[in-house]
Structure 1
Amino acid sequence: MMGQREQRRGTTLLTLFVFITTLWAPYVMAQTPEAAAPAAEAPKKPTQWRVGVLAVPARRSDKKLALPIQALFRNEVTKLLSTQLVVPTGDSDLSELVELRGMVDRGNKLLRGTKFSEAMPLYQEAADRIGMVDLVPDRRLLARLYKGLAICQWIDNNKEAARSNAQRSRHLWPNQSDVEWAFNMETSRLFRDVTVGWETTPNGEITIKTSPSDAEVFVDGVSRGFSPVTVAQASVGPHHVFVVRDGYMAHQSWVVVESEQQANVKVGLKAIPNKSGFDRAVTRLKRASSRAHRALKNLNTLAKAHGGVDVLIAVTVRGKRGALELRGAVYKNGKAEAVRETLQQDAFLISNMRGLVRTWTGVDFGPDLESEPLEGSVARDVAGPDVSGANSGDPTYIMGGKDVFAAEQRAKTDTLFNKWWFWAGAAVLVGGAVTAIVVLAGDTGPTSPTGSVSIDLYTPSVP
C-alpha cells in the first residue's frame, strides 16, 4: 500500500510539472527577441520601365483618328505597374524623376514629425528642379510636392506663397480632405482658406494655342485634347500647363486664372535636335509597318528620340468602315515583333486597347488611384502656433488619423494578459493544482491498522 501512495504522489507531481512547463514555454518564446530569427531579405522593387507609344496616320485622312488613338494608348501606359511613359521630345532623364520622388517622401516624413523647418529645403529644391523634367506630368508627385511646400511656407508665415502652392496642389489632385492637411491647427486653417475661397469666387477660363498646332495639352496633369484648347470653368489660382508634340521639345509652365477672366497661353514649340531624322523614321514606319525586320532601324531611331526606351509601340492607324486597323511593330529588348490588329469603334474600344497594351508590354496594370486620397490622414498638433491666441473655453478638435496612434495603442494593449494562451494555460494550471491538492490530501490522512481477520462459520449442533 505504501508503494501505491508514493506512485500516485509521483504521478501527481509529474503532471503538475508538465502543466507549469506548458504555461511557461509560450511566455518565454513570446519574450524572445525577433532579431534572433534569421531576417528574410526584403523583396527587390522591379525596375521601372520606360515605355513609348507612337500612332501615326497611315493616310492624311487618318490624322484625326491617329492623334486621339495615340493619346488613349499613352494614357493606358501611365496606368501600368513600374512604368514611366516617355515621349519623343529628346533626352528624358528618368533618374531625375526618381530622385525627386525620394525627396518628397523624405519631406513628408519630416512633416509628420512636425519638423517643418527641416522639410522646407527639400520641398523648395524639388520645386526648383521639377520644371526641368520634360516627362508627362506625374500628378500625384506634383500635388504632394506643392502641398508640402505650402504647409512649410504657411508655418513660416509666408501666407501668400503658401496659399498659391496650396491651390496648385488642390488643382493637381482635387480629391483631398482636411484630415490630410491637419498637421496642426495652422495647416488646417490653410486648407479651409483655399476651399472657402473657391466656393465663393466665380471661375475663369484658359485658352492654349501652340505653334505648330495639334500638340497634346495637359492642364493640371490631365489631357485636355489637342491645341488649340479651351478649358472652361477653371477655378481661380495657378494651373499647370504641359504641352507635347512628337518631334518637338516639351513645354511646361504655370498660368494664373483670375475670376471671370480668360487666361491666354501661347506656346512656340522648338524642334528636337534630330527632327529631320525622326520625321524620316516615321515616314519609313508607314512603308515598312508590315515587316518588323525592315522597321528595326527606324525603331532604333525612334527609340533614341524618346531618350531611350525599354518598350516602344509604333503603329500606323487606318480607318476602315467603323473599325481601326493597326499595323506596326513592338520594339522590346532590342528586338522587333510585327503586330497587326483591328479594333472596332464601339463601347469596348478602350478595354480592347487596354488589353493590347498589357499584351504588347507584358506588364500588368496597377490599382486605380484616381479616386484615392493624395496621402493618409495626419494628427493635428494642438500646440500649434496660434493656440496661445485662442480664447479660454474655445473648443479644440483633434482629428487624428488611425496610423498616428496605432503604435501607442499597440504598446498599451499588447501585454501578456491579452494573450488567449495565457488564460488557457492558467485554467489548465489551476485545474491541475486543484486535482493535485485533492489527491495529496487524500493520501496524507491517518492509516488504518493492517492485519487479517478470521471468521469461523462453524455452528455447534443442538442435541
Structure 2
Amino acid sequence: MSIDWTQRPVLRQWVTLVALAAMANVASVVPFSRHVMAQQPDQPTPAEQQNPANEPVPIQQAPVDVVAPAKTPARRVALFAVPKNAAIAQESLVLQSMLRGAVAKLDGVAFADAAPARNPDNLVRAASLVENGNEWLNKDPAVYPNYREEALNRYQTAYDMLLASPGGADMRLLGHAAKGLGVAKLLTGTQQEAARLMRQSLLVYPMQSSVEYAYTPEAQEAFEQVVRDTAAEASGSIQVKTLPDGAEVFVDGKLQGYAPLTVNNLTAGEHYVTVFADGHWKWAEFVAVPPGGTVDKMVELAAAPSLPVLQSSLKDVQRKWNAKGVGVAAQNLKEAANADEVILLRVDKNKQGEFILDGFTVRLSGDVAPTSATIAPDAKFLDNIRLFIEGQTGAGTVSDAGAVPLSMPLIRSVALPVSGNLGTTDVIDPNSQIFNTGGEEDESIVNEWWFWTLIGVGVAGAAVAIALPLTLGEEESSGGPKGGIHVKLVTLP
C-alpha cells in the first residue's frame, strides 16, 4: 500500500520560529460547548422497598451490585516498528508511537500493549463500582438515608483499585472515580479532601461542567471554587528521568515525549503521569505540580516476564526480514504482548523526508501478509497514518465526537440558578490560561512536539532559526486541509 499526497497550495504564509533542539509542547485540548440531558430519577425495586436502609456489605467480601456483563472481547493488535539503520532510530520511535495511537482508536480493536499494567482485572470491577456509586448518589435521601456512605464506599473502592493498576485505566474512568469520590467526601463532611479530588479529576479529564456536580448546591459551588482556585495559580513543570532511558512519558493521558524530558506549562495540581517501555511494567502515579515551580521525578521501571522474549524476537525479526523469518518471531511477539495479530514494520526515510515503511501483518489465522507505505510528514500526516492502520486491520476509526460527561445528577438534584458564569453546560479546560470555553481554535501539527523530531530537528543544544513556509489549503467537503509544509533550517551564529 502506498500513500501519496498531492499539494494544492492556495495561501502561503511564512512563519519564522526560533527554536532549541529540545522543543517541548503540551498538547492542547480544544474546548467546546454541548448540551447534556439530565438523568431521570430512579425508582426503588421491590427488594429495596422492603429494605430501605440496605445495610452496606463490605465490598472486599462479596459483590454489592450487579456487575455489567463483559463485552465481546476485542481483537487485540500489537505493533512494532524498527529502524532500518541507527540514523533513523529516533524518528522510528516517534512513528511507532503515532502508529500505535492509531491502532488504539480503532473500532472493535484493542491495542495489545507490550508494556503490561498490573492487576488488569481491577479495571472492569472499578468501572462497575463507579457506575454503582453514581446510582447511589442519585438515590432519594428520604428512602435511602445512608446513600452518601454507600456512594463513598463504592467510589473509594474503585479509586483504590485503579491506583493499584497503575497506567491501566483511561483518563475518563480515572477522572470519574476521582470526581465521584470527591463529591461523596464533600457530602460526608470532608471538604478539604473533596476539593483535592475534584481538582484531580478536573486535571485528568478537563472537559467538565459545573452542572455535572449539582448533586447539591454545596457540591456545585465546591467545584466552581476549585475551578477559580486552579485558574488563579501559576503553571509549573515536571521533569522526568527514567531507567531504562527513553521510556514514553504521558501526562494526563497525552504522550509528551521520551525521557529524559521536561513538560512545561502544566496547571498546578496533581497530574497523572504514566511511564512505560516495552517489556516493562507500567508505572503511573499522581504527581503534584507546584505553582510556578518544577517537580523532579525519577522512575525505575521493573522488567516484566515478557522482556527477554520481546528483545530476542525483535532481534530475530531484523536479521530475518522475510515472511518466513517474521512469521516465527511474530508468534513469539504475539504471545509476549497477549495479541491476536501483530504488525511488524521497518522504517526508512528517503531524500524527500518521506517515511518508507515495509513489513508484514501477521493475521489471527497465522497468515503473513506483506505491506508497504510511503508517508510524508505533511499536513495530511495523521490522516495518512490512520488510513494505513485501517488498511492493515480492516477496521474503522472511532469518530472523536468530543468529551463524554462523567455522570449527571438527577433533575430533582440540580439546584438552579447556579452561581456565576460557570453554571452553564460549557466545558472547562483548566490547561487554557484563561479557561476559555468559547469556539474551537485552529490546530497545526507544527505545534506538536513530535513534528520537529520527524522532520529531523534534533541536534541537542543547537539553536536554529526555522524559516517555515506553511502552505495552507482550502478545505474539502470531506474535511481536512490541503497543503504542504516545507522547512528550511539555518544555524544561528
Q: Give the TM-score normalised by the residue count of structure 2.
A: 0.65
Counterpart in the other structure of 1:60 = 86
The residue type equivalent to 2:290 in the other structure is E
Counterpart in the other structure of 1:207 = 239
Counterpart in the other structure of 1:75 = 101
Does 1:312 find its partner at 2:312? no
Equivalent residues in 2 for 1:24-423, closer than 5 Å: 46-90=72-116, 95-113=121-139, 115-133=147-165, 135=167, 137-289=169-321, 291-306=322-337, 308-321=338-351, 322-335=353-366, 336-376=368-408, 378-379=410-411, 381=413, 397=418
Q: Which runs of 5+ in 1 are unaligned?
A: 1-42, 384-394, 402-463
Shift, 1:100, TM fit? 2.3
Distance 1:48 1:99, change over 3 A: farther
The residue type equivalent to 1:110 in the other structure is W
Distance 1:53 1:111, change over 3 A: farther
Higher helix proportion (structure 1 or 2): 1
The residue type equivalent to 1:88 in the other structure is A
The residue type equivalent to 1:318 in the other structure is D
The residue type equivalent to 2:95 in the other structure is I
Is the contact made by 1:210 and 1:228 (CA closer than 8 Å) also made in structure 2? yes
Instruction: Quote the Cα distance in structure 2 between the aligned partners of 1:169 and 1:253.
Output: 14
Report Cα offsets for 1:351-395 as digits up to 9, x if no partner: 111012112222222231444444456546379xxxxxxxxxxx9
Is the contact made by 1:147 and 1:166 (CA closer than 8 Å) also made in structure 2? yes
Report Cα offsets for 1:261-282 as digits up to 9, x if no partner: 2111111122222423321111
The residue type equivalent to 2:137 in the other structure is L
Distance 1:157 1:360, change over 3 A: same
Distance 1:241 1:328, change over 3 A: same
Show structure 1 runs of 4+ deviating over 6 A.
398-401
Is the contact made by 1:217 and 1:227 (CA closer than 8 Å) also made in structure 2? yes
SS in 1 for 2:413: coil
Larger relative contact order, structure 1 or 2 (CA cutoff 8 Å, min sep 6): 2
Shift, 1:149, TM fit? 0.9
Q: Give the TM-score normalised by the residue count of structure 1.
A: 0.69
Is the contact made by 2:117 and 2:167 (CA closer than 8 Å) also made in structure 1? no
Instruction: Quote the Cα distance in structure 2 between the aligned partners of 1:212 and 1:151.
Output: 39
Report Cα offsets for 1:240-274 as digits up to 9, x if no partner: 11001112221111111121221111111222224
Is the contact made by 1:183 and 1:379 (CA closer than 8 Å) also made in structure 2? no
The residue type equivalent to 1:313 in the other structure is I
Larger Rg: 1
Q: Which runs of 5+ in 2 are unaligned?
A: 1-68, 141-146, 426-493
Shift, 1:327, TM fit? 2.1
